[in-house]
Amino acid sequence: MTLSLTSASASFFGTVVGSLLYGLFFVLAILSAVLHIQHIMRGHQNASRRTIMGSVLRNPMIMAGIMLFLTVTAHWILDIIDTAYGLLESENPKVYFLALIRPRAVTGFAFLLVSLVICDTMIIYRLWIVWNKSTLVVIFPVITLLGMLACGIGDTHQFAITAVGESVFTQEFARWIVADSVFNLLTNVYSTGLIAYRIYTINARMSIVTRVHGGDDLKSVMAILVESSALLSAWIVFHMITYSTKSALEIFVLNTLGTVSGLSFMLINIRVALGWGQTETISGSSTDRPNLVPPRVRMETQVDTHVDMPTKSSTDNHNEYELDEVAKGQI
């Protein structure tokens, strides 16, 4: 006896796994909001509530987290309702789930699209921050993000005008879905590569001077994976493969993609809120302290900070690496 994955079972398992991921997403979303607000309150200890609330509303990571929470939650609820209806009420669940042209699926896909746009926008924002707010670096991902948004709108429109019962694997859908996935993947891979390169080069430079080993190397790898949103990039590749092969797993991927995008963003958000989005730096001349390891200064790269490239000191002949929180007086 062989087991084959049908569209109904793929939708069921996608909903189950998606619900588990949503539970984790929910916890991280609440935790990240609390940590960000606590961080803002520590920086405005004597300020009024109105001032603190204004700072909260101006924080892009908090506002993006709220919007993403709403869209991911809406997509998850619609997915549960649609799966329950398909398994319990439809006459033929296999045909029902292959025919994605149905009201709940169209609405859910729209929320999925918005979730991906928000997540990609914040990944580009992190790229901009990590690269010292360089506009040149983010030109390409902004273009691909706009391309993804245009294809996503075309996709949603195609869903709305297609007759009920038609499969999502038709040529009319393929051109939109494939283009949308390609633009999405380009945005994530480009941002992933540059963020990973930036973090790796800075940490490698610091490791040579401070002789960092073991745990810090592992921390550096985890920082690269989280900041570069490698999880979302891998899931997009998975979606492209399953759709190209017309596998029932494509339904599973769609049911979980929105939550995965939310998880990817919340991992970055938690890292920033905890102050782990940082680069350890060196200051001072080695000739001044020949027998001592230069101190390591923690600099948070949060939403109101920047990363400076190495600059030449005017008082000595050695490099001084300065990274963030200058405005906050932490150095």
| CATH number of the domain encompassing residue 50 | 1.20.1070
Kind plus residue range of the DSSP H or E element containing 211: none
The pLDDT score that the predictor gives to residue 220 is 55
Top-confidence residue, 223 or 235: 235
Tokens of 323: 């990274």
Tokens of 127: 């790229």
Q: Is the pLDDT of residue 27 over 50?
A: yes
Question: Which amino acid makes up residue 302?
Answer: Q
Among 284, 293, 292, which residue's Cα sits nearest to residue 318? 284
Top-confidence residue, 171 or 263: 263
The pLDDT score that the predictor gives to residue 297 is 36
Q: Is residue 217 part of a domain?
A: no
Q: Is residue 200 part of a domain?
A: no
The pLDDT tens digits of the residues spanning 226-236 come to 555 677 888 88
First to last CA, the chain: 67
Please indicate, yes or no, whether residues 82 and 143 belong to a single structural domain of this protein: yes
Please indicate, yes or no, whether residues 66 and 132 belong to a single structural domain of this protein: yes
Task: Give φ, ψ of 302 to 5 degrees.
Answer: -90, -170
Separation CA 193–CA 213 (nearest Å): 24
Please indicate, yes or no, whether residues 248 and 284 belong to a single structural domain of this protein: no
Ordered DSSP codes for 132-190: TT-HHHHHHHHHHHHHHHHHHHHHHHHHHHSPTT--TTSHHHHHHHHHHHHHHHHHHHH
Separation CA 194–CA 266 (nearest Å): 20
Q: Is the pLDDT of residue 315 over 50?
A: no
Average pLDDT of 193-201? 82
Calculate the average pLDDT of the chain. Answer: 74
Q: Is the pLDDT of residue 291 over 50?
A: no
Top-confidence residue, 310 or 206: 206
The pLDDT score that the predictor gives to residue 289 is 38
Task: Look at residues 258, 276, 294 and tell me which one is the last residue of a structural domain.
Answer: 276
- What is the count of structural domains for the chain? 2
The pLDDT score that the predictor gives to residue 144 is 95
The pLDDT score that the predictor gives to residue 17 is 92
The pLDDT score that the predictor gives to residue 71 is 94
Please indicate, yes or no, whether residues 99 and 136 belong to a single structural domain of this protein: yes
Domain that holds residue 140: 7-192+229-276
Task: For residue 225, name the pLDDT band (cuts at 50, 70, 90).
Answer: low
Ranges 15-24, 67-76, 228-237: which has the least confidence: 228-237
User: 58-62, 72-76, 295-299: which has the highest mean pLDDT?
Assistant: 72-76
Please indicate, yes or no, whether residues 296 and 316 belong to a single structural domain of this protein: yes
Separation CA 303–CA 41 (nearest Å): 15
Average pLDDT of 105-121? 87
Task: Look at residues 239, 257, 276 and tell me which one is the last residue of a structural domain.
Answer: 276
Q: Is residue 216 part of a domain?
A: no
Q: Is residue 328 part of a domain?
A: yes
Average pLDDT of 285-296? 38
The whole-model pTM stands at: 0.73
Task: For residue 323, name the pLDDT band (cuts at 50, 70, 90).
Answer: very low
Q: Is residue 54 part of a domain?
A: yes
Top-confidence residue, 98 or 305: 98
Please indicate, yes or no, whether residues 22 and 127 belong to a single structural domain of this protein: yes
Please indicate, yes or no, whether residues 267 and 322 belong to a single structural domain of this protein: no
